[in-house]
Structure 1
Amino acid sequence: MFDISRMETTERMSKVVRHNSAIYLCGQVADNSEEAIGPQTENMLAKVDALLKLAGSNRKHMLSATIYLRDMKDFAAMNSVWDNWVPEGFAPARACVEARMARPDLLVEISVIAAACSVKE
């Protein structure tokens, strides 16, 4: 039996899909795309935190993250924010690729898969 729930769903997509104990987040980008890579990354990761909480998880339960950068020249700056955000000992499997973004002002996007928490943390 499959237990699938969708959260914050529109006609195009769901921001969160939970299947049994797996949580899938749609791609997250910064709200203010006029900022530099550091602030865009911080804002994007805050949105990930909020969606994980909504779905019953947190960053310690991330399984996988795929990060898309408009330009690999921003790799070190993005990683500086990422490294401070990921709890020590809880780094997910991760890929980071250079990609053409949906809008030219976006510098970074992330897609996350996480496990649900068995208890509130």
Structure 2
Amino acid sequence: MMLAGWLALTPLGAMAQDAEAGQRVFNQCRACHTINQGGRNGVGPNLHGVLDRAAGAVEGFRYSAPMRERAASGLAWTEENLIAYITDPKSVVPGGSMSYVGLRNPEQRANLLAYLRQATAAAN
């Protein structure tokens, strides 16, 4: 995988991260994902605790074969891998079932990551 290439596009430490703005970005994700602890899976898995979680690890969610293969190869949702996936899901999991084309704006990606981090911390 060329995750390093995506990382070069988004130096996370170089920009401010705004969780409130990230919550607005997450509204695009709500059609398929929940984020609350114990929340239901939808079209996509619940994202509570996604940071540093192994890919394909949400109990009860039916992952695509390509996602299961990437999970078996050791993919974990580090900040860097999650940013790469949010940027271009098909480059990280070719043939995966996530229909989202990707979030191209680096500031929105950083804000979304801040929201995911904050929402998980607030729910614990």
* TM-score of the superposed pair, with normalisation by structure 2: 0.29
Higher strand fraction (1 or 2): 1
Q: Which has the higher contact order (CA 8 A, sep 6+)?
A: 2
Higher helix fraction (1 or 2): 2
